[in-house]
Amino acid sequence: MKMSMAAKKRREGYTFILPGFIYMLVVLGYPLIYNFVLSFRNVNVKTFKGGTDVFVGLSNYIELFHNETFLMVFKNTFIFTIGCLVVQFTIGFIFALFFSKKFTLAGPIRGMILVGYMMPMSVTALLGKNMFDVSSGVINDLFMKIGLINAPVEWLLNGSTAMIAIIAVNCWVGIPFNMLLLTSGLTGISTEIYESAEVDGANPFQRFLYITLPLMKPAILSVLMLGFIYTFKAFDLMFVMTSGGPLNSTDVLGTYAYTLSFKQYEFSLGSTAAIILFACLFIVGLFYLRLISKEDD
C-alpha cells in the first residue's frame, strides 16, 4: 500500500515531535495532575506509607488561608516580586538605553555584566550571605567607608532589611537580564524614525516618550510578565541565603511549599501551597501567551 505524500510527511513530523511531547506529558504533565489530586487529599508521611489517605475536598486550601504564616509568606512573595520588578526593570531599561548608544566599550561590557545570570543561584545566594554579613561583610564595610551608615546594619538578622538584601541580590541577576531583553526590543526600532523626529525638533525626552515607549510596548509588557513569572517562583535564593528567615520574613511560596512537604512531611499541604503559587503564575502566564502568540504562523 502506498501512502499519500501528505500522510507520509505528517508521519515524519510526528516521529520527530512526539517523543519530546510525550516526555513532557509523562515527566511533567502527570506530576502536575497528581499535584492537583494531592491538594484535595490528606497525604502525609503516615497516610502515604499506609496508603490510607482520603479525599478531603478543599480543606487544605481552607487550612492554608487560615494559617498566619502562610498569609505572611503569600504577602512576602508579592513584596519580593514587585520590589524586584520595579528595580530591575527601571535600571535594566536605563542600561538598555545607555548600552544601545554607539561607543567603543558598549558591546563587550553589556555582555560581561550578564555573567551573573548564568551562575548557579545557590552560589549567588551564598555570596549574598557573605557580603551582607554583619561583621565580616563587605557591604557594611563599604557603606561605612562612604558614610552611608554609621554602624554595621544587621542585614540578615531582621525581617525588613533581610528582604531588602534578598531583593538586592536578585536584582544583581535581574537587571542584566532585563537589559538584555529590552535591548533586543530597542534594536528593532529603526534609526530613521529618530532622525526625522530630531529634524522636526523633538528633544531627547520627547523622543523617548513619543517614539521609544510606544514602539517598545510589546517588549516592555513581555519583559514585565516574564520577570513576574521568573521572580515569583524564586526558591534557591531564599533557601540558601536566609532559609526563609528570620521568622519567615523572607519565606516565599516556593520555599514554604518545600518546608511543608519535606520538613513537616505534610505532602498535601505542600502541594496545595504549590498550586496556589501555580495559580498566580497561570494568570500572568495567560496574558503573556496571548501577547506572544500573536506572532505565530
Using CB under 8 A, pick the residue from 35, 59, 69, 100 that binds another protein: 35
Window 61 to 90, contacts with another protein (CB under 8 A): none
Stretch that binds another protein, among 56-64, 75-83, 199-207, 260-268 (CB under 8 A): 260-268
196 binding another protein? (CB under 8 A): no
**By the rule CB under 8 A, 3 interacts with another protein:** no
**Residue (of 193, 284, 166) closest to 230 by Cα position:** 284
- Could you give phi then psi for residue 190, rounded to 5 degrees? -75, 145
With b meaning 16 or more CB within 10 Å and e meaning fewer, what string describes 79-105?
Answer: ebbebbbebbbebbbebbeebbeeeee
Distance of alpha carbon 189 from alpha carbon 186, whole angstroms: 6
Binding to another protein by residue 155, rule CB under 8 A? no
- Report 219-248 residues binding another protein (CB under 8 A): 219, 222-223, 226, 229, 233, 235-236, 239-240
Nearest approach in angstroms of CB 14 to another protein is 6
Report the alpha-carbon distance of residue 14 to residue 11 in Å, rounded. Answer: 5
* Cell numbers describing residue 56: 478531603
Identity of the residue, 74 or 267, whose beta carbon is nearer to another protein in the bound complex: 267
The string of DSSP codes covering 210-254 is: IIIHHHHHHHHHHHHHHHHHHHHT--HHHHHHTTT-STTTT--HH
Q: Is 184 in the site for another protein (CB under 8 A)?
A: yes
Instruction: Return the axis-axis angle of helices 213-232 and 159-186, rounded to nearest 10°.
Output: 140
Region from 55-63, 71-79, 121-129, 197-205 binding another protein, contact rule CB under 8 A: 121-129
68 vs 297 by CB, closer to another protein: 297
> With contact defined as beta carbons under 8 Å apart, do 169 and 121 qualify?
no
Per CB under 8 A, does 150 bind another protein? Answer: no
User: Should residue 28 be labelled a site residue for another protein when binding is judged by CB under 8 A?
Assistant: yes
Question: Cβ 119 to another protein, closest distance in Å?
Answer: 5
- The window from 56-64, 76-84, 199-207, 269-277 that contacts another protein (CB under 8 A) reads 269-277
